[in-house]
Amino acid sequence: MKNLNKNSFLFKDISSIKGVGKILEKYLKNKKVDKVKDLLLDLPYEVTDRSKITSLNKLEIGKITTIQVTVEKYNFPRIRNLPNKVICSDKNNKINIIFFNSREGYIRKILPLNKEVVISGKINFYKQQYQITNPTYVNEINSKDKITKIFPKYNLTEGLKEKIYRNIILKVLSNFDKDDEWYSEKFLKENKFNKLEQTLKNLHNPKTNKDINSNDYRRLVFDEIFSNLLYLSKSRKIVKVKKIIKKFDKKKITDIVLKNFGYKLTDGQLKILSEIENDIRSNHRMFRLLQGDVGSGKTILSLISASNVISSNHQVAFMAPTEILANQHFQLAKKLFKGTNVISSILTGKTNYKEKNKILSMLENKAINFIFGTHSLFQNKIKFSNLGLIIIDEQHKFGVNQRLRLAKKGGKNCDLLLMSATPIPRTMMLSYFGDMDISRLKEKPKNRHEILTLVKPERKIDEIWPLLKSEISMNRQIFWICPLIDESKTLNYSSVKKKFNQINKIFPNQVGLIHGNLNKEEKNLILNKFLNKMIKILVSTTVIEVGIDFPDANTIVIEDSNKFGLSQLHQLRGRVGRGKNKSICILLYKNNLSANAKERLKILKSTNDGFEIAEKDMSLRGFGDILGFQQSGIKNFKFADPIHHKDLFFLAEENIKKIEGENFKKYENLLKLYDRAEIIHEIGN
């Protein structure tokens, strides 16, 4: 492996390429081609095969075609703005070659009368006659080897012509820095990869349309994945620094918490609790994601972990995404920590000024051991005396940079535990959470009932009303989910407002309505009414909060269920089944389901395993935005697809583990190639 050139040609400005003037530079930068690397990573989307000569009786309109014809006649009109026309023919048929804005002398030169020529361009049909307008290539028959080639096609923006763009790429490839290689010869050979130079030359001179499983394409895919994992590994090193003071869990408070909990922990919970406790006792900071399916019992593990830290004379901060969820955790903690000397409190936007100042003072003076709240807990004005653990619930939407900022806020002696109820496929875990240790809680507590899932056509909706009446008569509650807020003229979907009016007529004064257009206070008011059983049916869009326990909600009806993703349906289904009674999820659908929609509903009916559902969801929908959000600090992959290239994700993971203790300097150009170097510099400061 050669030494890397820090001033590699790859990272030069595009204006440094000979032939790229100010105007062309402007057009290229409009296409987001700022540096040489941007040009090389802009692969052709398909190829045009000009190598096959097509006879004039087999032309296809709209297709780029190469023909061999004899020039028969010129038509140069003397009226301004009319195009020039050259009539050509093969043995039996004629075609018009049309030129706009071309001089007569130029046309006579490239298409000499009575000469046989090869012409390539898009076939059009005008006034009952085939024609090619402004042909791409024209050559005499004795030079046809110059035209009979396979040409790559690129997505070009205004001002860029295919021929010019292609020529710039050829110039760049001829000047490629052979020193730009970061893998050993052995590694390349073992994985059937070419060197980067040859890889890019092959990809820009393809023989067929793009093949995402070709060895050259897979080389770029691996580069992209590996650079991402290098970046996450660097982030991991920054966070998992040595602790100033080790924490020792003395178990005094923990025993009381477990007794107050009243249930035996599952084997899965005990295993993960052991992992967390080992992190807390270790001499390096914990940076762990606890991923558990809905209802798997993550919260109790976080509170037991908190008790260990508090026993070691440290404070714990528990952050939830909403005030309602923060308050729910606070109330649960008060029950579980009953009989201990733990002082807990909650800080939200509703905390009045006097109470807030009192809490801030107590935190700073270590009079509060355990504080609950929303993201406002980590404002600069809030100071802790000895913060030892940060727990963040339902914050899978945090990007890498946000996680790092949070970790820095806690200080070098503070452990970090994130929790998420969103099951994520393994390749995506590597992509987004490769900087963290992962604990996956799959087993559900034995007191949790399986949720019965029914699939019904909407025409049978009248069969549901007796079930709802029966549930309400037993003092139980119901969710009813619709995809839209208002009725739509273009989408044949159910709206919550229309459904609310309909259900309210059947169950007057027992129905609540919640949707995204309500402000936070209005949403909280309705949710609190539902929590306190002042309303029996909650008609809602998908805004109902993940993680909130409604123990008396036993039934959820989801309209237009075929319009939701599998993972989203599973999350919605998880709003019920949290109490002692058996629960039902009813998936309503309109007629004429697509094959994909039928498969999604079939999968959901067959399993309650969120991890299995997440894997199948990704297979059905593709990688895309499967999580339902854009990760902050991580761009979408340009080449890699976690479904098709799963093996390369695991290969990258294996190699990261081998080099984790090494200096990443030899991969500097790889990190720069995929815009990771600047992020690493930023997170290191």
Q: How confident is the model at residue 510, as a pLDDT?
A: 94
**Tokens representing residue 387 in the block:** 């913060």
Asked if 369 and 342 count as a contact pair (C-beta separation under 8 A), the reply is yes
**How far apart are the C-alpha atoms of 25 and 19, rounded to whole Å?**
10
424: tokens are 């994520």
Given the structure tokens 């110059």, which residue do they identify? Answer: 146
Q: Which helix H or strand E contains 373, and what residues bound it?
A: strand 370-373
Q: Which residue has the tokens 């009806």?
A: 557
Q: Is 494 exposed, middle or buried (0-12, 13-18, 19+ CB in 10 A)?
A: buried
Residues 6+ positions from 21 with CB-CB distance below 8 Å:
none
**Nearest to residue 169, comparing CAs of 39, 48, 19?**
39
pLDDT at residue 429 in the model: 77
Backbone dihedral angles phi then psi of residue 346, each to the nearest 5 degrees: -130, 140
Q: What is the pTM of this model?
A: 0.72
Would you report the helix, strand and coil content of the chain in percent, each value rounded to 5? 40, 20, 40
pLDDT of 579 reads 74
Q: What is the pLDDT of residue 538?
A: 94
The gap from C-alpha 74 to its chain's centroid, in whole angstroms, comes to 57
Q: What is the DSSP string of 614-626?
A: HHHHHHHH-STTT
Residue 292: the pLDDT is 85
Q: What is the pLDDT of residue 67?
A: 92
What does the DSSP assignment read for 460-525?
GGGGTHHHHHHHHHTT-EEEEE-SBSS--SS----BHHHHHHHHHHHSTT-EEEE-TTS-HHHHHH
> Per the structure block, which two tokens stand in for 156?
């070009």
Q: Which amino acid is at 629?
A: F
Record the tokens describing residue 333, joined without a space. 């903690």
Please state, in angstroms and rounded to a whole number, the distance separating the CA atoms of residues 38 and 444: 48
Residue pair 44/210 in contact by the 8 Å Cβ criterion: yes
394 secondary structure, DSSP code: S
Give Cβ neighbours of residue 354 (< 8 Å, ≥ 6 apart): none
Q: For residues 572 and 440, is the Cβ–Cβ distance under 8 A?
A: no
- What was the pLDDT predicted at 1? 44
Give the strand pairing for 150-153 and 415-420: unpaired
Q: What domains sit in the chain, N to C, each tagged with a CATH number?
A: 51-148 (2.40.50.140), 451-607 (3.40.50.300)
Instruction: Provide φ and ψ at 471, rounded to 5°.
Output: -60, -45
Q: What is the pLDDT of residue 383?
A: 87
Size (the chain), residues: 685
User: Where do we find the tokens 């590699």?
Assistant: 8
Could you count the other beta carbons within 10 Å of the beta carbon of residue 119?
23
Q: Which of 299, 572, 543 is nearest to 420 (CA)?
A: 299
User: Which DSSP category does 242 fall into?
Assistant: B
Tokens of 15: 């204006």
Q: pLDDT value at position 503?
A: 92
Q: Using an 8 Å Cβ cutoff, are 467 and 506 in contact? A: no
Distance CA 11, CA 669 (A): 9
> Which residue type is seen at 416?
L
DSSP 8-state code for residue 598: H
pLDDT at residue 402 in the model: 65
Q: What is the structure's pLDDT at 4?
A: 45
CA 233 to chain centre: 19
**CB 249, CB 415: distance < 8 Å:** no
Determine the Cα–Cα distance for residues 89 and 76; give it in Å rounded to an integer: 18
Q: By the 8 A CB rule, do 272 and 233 touch? A: no
What is residue 632's predicted lDDT score, i.e. its pLDDT? Answer: 36
What is the per-residue pLDDT for 204? 93
List of residues 6+ apart from 617 with CB closer than 8 A:
565, 566, 567, 600, 626
Angle CA 419–451–425, to nearest 5: 40
Q: What is the pLDDT of residue 107?
A: 94
Q: Averaged in consecutive runs of 10 residues, what is the pLDDT profile of the chain (685 residues)?
A: 59 91 92 93 85 89 91 91 93 93 91 92 93 89 63 86 89 82 93 94 87 92 92 81 72 86 90 93 89 85 93 91 87 93 90 90 92 84 88 70 69 87 78 82 77 90 92 93 69 76 92 86 87 91 72 90 84 82 89 81 86 80 48 62 87 88 82 77 54
Report which of 171, 159, 173 is spatially closest to residue 18, judged by C-alpha positions: 171
